[in-house]
Structure 1
Amino acid sequence: MGYYVSVESGVKLYVEDINSEGSKTIVFLHGWPLSHKQFEYQFDVLPFMGYRCIGIDWRGFGKSDKPISGYNFDRLADDIRTVVDVLQLDNFTLVGHSTGGAIAIRYMSRHNGYGVSNLVLVDAAAPIGFTTETATRFLTQALNDRPKMMQEVIDNFFFQYITNSFSEWFFQLGLQAAGWSTAAIINTLRDEKLYGDLPNIHVPTLIIHGVHDKVIPFAQAHELNQTIKNSQLVPFHYSGHGPFWEERDKFNKLLKQIIG
């Protein structure tokens, strides 16, 4: 079931809520510049294991409203808190991929992990995101030839082979976003750091990271593992930046194990 949640005046986020009667809840935060649909191969499986799966499109992306402001980690984390409050979620597992991982980390720090029982960081863009060089290149493309930018994202995203059809599907997910929100998040990934947030995470944390990730280096997963108490790092040896698809069976089994 899909519906909208108002997070501030004139801004509603799209929420995909699958198996609302499930015994345990998983909240998914997608990466830049995608949408909740990147987790299709989790939503195909986990609800049938009895889990409630909630995918949230952040502001500016997917089916959510696309205001011109509010693209810093504080505001994005506050948006998630509003959804949690409106849906009255508690004792849920929070899964964040890439920039969604950064938002999840800020949520844990800024809102004291409200309602979260387990945290899963997937190739998280933390404690830093884009270098100045990468950000400058993406920003130029986003403001002048966004399809070219999206193609570069795809070219560096996966370690395993993807078909042309899959590539086109992924390409269209990225183009659902607004151009201005796509650009704004590039600046956020360049400018915001999460070093101060990491010591504020106090729930069991699973860190999943593709060994061959060209977007967020695997070394950053080690840094997260060393800084976040009660964390476990699981390398995905046959994945780049997309282990949720590249090694989806292993990914889904790990989620099941950590949630119980």
Structure 2
Amino acid sequence: MWKRKMLQTQRGVFEIFQKGVGKPLCVAHLYAVFNETGDYFADTFSKRFYVTLINIRGVGESEQAHEPYEYSMVDSVLDIEAIRVALGYERWIYAGHSTGGMIGLLYALLHQSSLESLVIVGSAARDYTESSACIYNEKHPKFAEMQQYQFALTQPNVTAIDKEQLKKKRIQLSLFEPEKYTQYFTGNICKDMSGVRLDFFSREAVLFDITRKLKQINIPTNICCGRYDVQCPVEYSKEIHQEIPQSQLFIFENSNHYPFLEEKDLFQKVIVQALN
């Protein structure tokens, strides 16, 4: 289990969860709601790093948003930086999966001196739904099915049992081998998502594009992506790698959106080599 802590910062009180040993490493996501059971992605790092898993503004018991703009990516980065300062870390590693990776890239642009390095997994530096290879693009063959699950999960009257089944079906759309779902997701970790933050992100993503700024990132950046990622297609990881001078790109040939689970041993090997 992760150790829960309420942390006072200059930007309010935030709920964080910590676990592991070693150098400090931060994990965050734009609309995930974490708890003491942790997170599959964050657990990838906890054997070699001291991981801080953050419930950002408006999520869990963290500081609430008083204005809509406080759900933005920029404000999220400012909150994460305030958490680093409150924890007393001079620098730390940031690791982000999916929208967590988008925050990481923006973090590096706004507060590069606070970061030792970056790990960006299955992510993008701009609106990834523009690609027809993305399951959130209307031209994708599984678009309607994904939308059905996303909508159902945000309904207030959905039962706990139905929610778990909907989550399973939604996640299976983003697995290279969907039949291995129970092998990857053991059920020990239970997290949720914030409908309010997801809605805000859906609108903000249309305007998000920091590709022209990526050349300003001058810290070691490790980019990972599944060859068959349907959420943030591999073309976006290639684009990030092309723009960031000190970057490495690792493409996982038998993975979709979750290479840290689908090719767990290889992912661990890549991370150890990249960060040690």
Q: Give your verdict on TM over 0.5.
A: yes
Q: Alpha-carbon deviation of 1:144? A: 6.2
178 and 130 in structure 1: CA distance in 2 versus 1, 3 angstrom threshold? same
CA distance in 2, matches of 1:245, 1:236: 11
- Is the partner of 2:231 in helix, strand or coil? coil
Do residues 5 (structure 1) and 7 (structure 2) align? yes
Aligned twin of 1:134: 136
CA distance in 2, matches of 1:135, 1:188: 16
Which of 118-127 and 182-191 deviates more? 182-191
Of residues 219, 228, 246, the one that matches 1:212 is 228
Decide whether the 8 Å contact of 1:211 with 1:235 is kept in 2. Answer: yes
Of residues 148, 154, 179, the one that matches 2:195 is 179
- Is the partner of 1:53 in helix, strand or coil? strand
Aligned twin of 1:55: 53
CA distance in 2, matches of 1:6, 1:123: 31
Q: Deviations over 1:20-55 (max 9, x none)?
A: xx4412212236445476644653x64444x21221
Do residues 157 (structure 1) and 174 (structure 2) align? yes
240 and 27 in structure 1: CA distance in 2 versus 1, 3 angstrom threshold? same
Aligned twin of 2:123: 124
CA distance in 1, matches of 2:32, 2:101: 13
- Residue 121 of structure 1 aligns with an amino acid whose one-letter code is I
Within a 5 Å distance, the mapping from 1:1-260 to structure 2 comes to: 1-6=3-8, 11-19=12-20, 22-30=21-29, 32-33=31-32, 35=34, 39-40=39-40, 43=43, 46-49=45-48, 51-62=49-60, 64-67=62-65, 69=68, 70-111=70-111, 113-131=112-130, 134=136, 138=147, 141=151, 145=155, 150=167, 153-160=170-177, 161-163=180-182, 166=185, 173-174=191-192, 177-260=193-276
Give RMSD over aligned pairs. Answer: 3.3
Mind listing any 5+ residue stretches in structure 2 that lack a counterpart?
Answer: 139-143, 157-162
Decide whether the 8 Å contact of 1:7 with 1:83 is kept in 2. Answer: yes
Q: Deviations over 1:191-225 (max 9, x none)?
A: 32222331221101110001110101111111111
- Is the partner of 1:55 in helix, strand or coil? strand
TM-score by length of structure 1 reads 0.80
Which of 27-36 and 115-124 deviates more? 27-36
CA distance in 2, matches of 1:142, 1:62: 21
- Residue 113 of structure 2 aligns with an amino acid whose one-letter code is Y
Q: Deviations over 1:65-116 (max 9, x none)?
A: 45363121110111111111111223422111110101011111112x1321
Q: Alpha-carbon deviation of 1:156? A: 2.4
Query: May I ask how many residue pairs the two structures share in their alignment?
Result: 251
CA distance in 1, matches of 2:80, 2:119: 16
Q: Select the structure that is richer in helix.
A: 1
Q: Alpha-carbon deviation of 1:143? A: 9.1
Decide whether the 8 Å contact of 1:128 with 1:194 is kept in 2. Answer: no
CA distance in 1, matches of 2:41, 2:73: 27
Decide whether the 8 Å contact of 2:175 with 2:258 is kept in 1. Answer: yes
Q: Which has the larger radius of gyration?
A: 2
48 and 105 in structure 1: CA distance in 2 versus 1, 3 angstrom threshold? closer
Query: What percentage of residue pairs aligned between the two structures are identical?
Result: 23
Mind listing any 5+ residue stretches in structure 1 that lack a counterpart?
Answer: none
CA distance in 2, matches of 1:40, 1:144: 22
48 and 187 in structure 1: CA distance in 2 versus 1, 3 angstrom threshold? same
39 and 250 in structure 1: CA distance in 2 versus 1, 3 angstrom threshold? farther
CA distance in 2, matches of 1:153, 1:226: 31
CA distance in 2, matches of 1:182, 1:142: 14
- Is the partner of 2:15 in helix, strand or coil? strand
Q: Deviations over 1:166-197 (max 9, x none)?
A: 38777x523xx332122112222233222233
Decide whether the 8 Å contact of 1:28 with 1:95 is kept in 2. Answer: yes
